Structure 1
Amino acid sequence: MASSVTGSVLPSGSKVFTTIPDFLFIPEFVFGGLVWTLVASTHVVPANPLGWVMFVSIFCFLITTFWFFIFITGKNQSSIWPGLDAGYHAFAAFFYLSAAVLLAYITIFLNALPYTDVLKMYKLDIAAVVMAFVTTLLYFIHAVLSSLRWKSS
């Protein structure tokens, strides 16, 4: 993978797929979409906390999609974009960490619920927790690498 420090400040076009940290957009889409799908496929027993998890996953999925299209089209070439990139990914990592911890807390107490399909919901929630923490890690790594790129620009 090529480094995005050389040449222009941020990559555009197809270089987004080959530069560090921008290649992380695709795994962020995949794992963030999995969190969204897995939480949506379970019963919403504690509605408010799972609503926060759904909000975070949909919000970050949509904003990352918007962010990705900005990078693909090359509208990210002014000097403010490296800082915005680092800031957004740090913000998304914090949001996903809050959602992942909340989802893990809810999943711990899911076994006590009197439902017939608790085991299926429990397995789906465990998968969602794992995907949420993986997505948190991806956003965190992206934020750190974007911060390093911002510092070097």
Structure 2
Amino acid sequence: MAATTAQAMGSLPSGLEICTTAPDIFYLPELVFGGLVWILVASTHVTPPNPLGWVMFVSIFCFVMTFLWMILFLTGCHKSSSGWAAADFIYHGLAVLFYLSAGVDLAFITMLMKAGDFKMYQIDISAVVFAFATTLLYFIHAILSAIRWKHF
């Protein structure tokens, strides 16, 4: 019989358990992909500044908050309460909305910049792809967090 790392749905993981349980296994990919969006947008010419400023805000905000959220789960500050399960779902749902709006803004700006510098255009396309991939990761995390919260 194979060993399982499944956790009871009515509890929140702490310590290194977050590296083996869904939805918490998505923390690291969210950080990596979100960090790539941040780096790629920061490496291009910021024109127009307002929509790309929103993209930078979203990528930095979600990166920092996800890192802090992961640290809180690693240290066990949540004490496996249902309030933390609800907060986990709310945060990841909000991150989905933020990243979706930022991805759409970034895609629109990238479309407008098609006639400009080809290298910057390629970097912007990469940022758009990673923005939507990050949105998907946060969406899956939000759905699994909602299921976990429901079973509390």
Normalised by the shorter chain, which TM-score bucket? over 0.9
The residue that corresponds to 1:87 in the other structure is 90
- Is 1:108–2:111 an aligned residue pair? yes
Q: Which one of the candidate residues 17, 28, 31 is aligned to 1:29?
A: 31
The residue that corresponds to 2:121 in the other structure is 122
How far does residue 45 in structure 1 lie from its aligned partner after superposition?
1.1
* 1:2 and 1:20 in contact (8 A); partners too: no
How far does residue 3 in structure 1 lie from its aligned partner after superposition?
3.2
- Quote the Cα distance in structure 2 between the aligned partners of 1:10 and 1:80: 11
For residues 58-99 of structure 1, give each alpha carbon's deviation from its aligned partner in whole angstroms, at most 9, with x where no partner exists. 000000010000000000122210000001000001100000
- Quote the Cα distance in structure 1 between the aligned partners of 2:38 and 2:45: 13
Q: Which runs of 4+ in 1 moved over 4 A?
A: none
Q: Which one of the candidate residues 27, 45, 48 is aligned to 1:46?
A: 48
The secondary structure found in structure 2 opposite 1:43 is coil
CA RMSD of aligned residues (A): 1.2
For residues 100-152 of structure 1, give each alpha carbon's deviation from its aligned partner in whole angstroms, at most 9, with x where no partner exists. 00000000010234xxxx10100000000000000000000000000000001
The residue that corresponds to 2:142 in the other structure is 143
> What TM-score comes out, normalization by structure 1 length?
0.93
- Quote the Cα distance in structure 1 between the aligned partners of 2:145 and 2:26: 11
- Quote the Cα distance in structure 1 between the aligned partners of 2:143 and 2:7: 14
Structure 1 unaligned runs (5+)? none
Inter-CA distance 15–29: structure 2 relative to 1 (3 Å threshold)? same
The number of residue pairs the alignment matches comes to 148
- Quote the Cα distance in structure 2 between the aligned partners of 1:5 and 1:45: 49
- Quote the Cα distance in structure 2 between the aligned partners of 1:61 and 1:51: 15
> What TM-score comes out, normalization by structure 2 length?
0.94
Structure 2 unaligned runs (5+)? none
Identical pairs, percent: 58
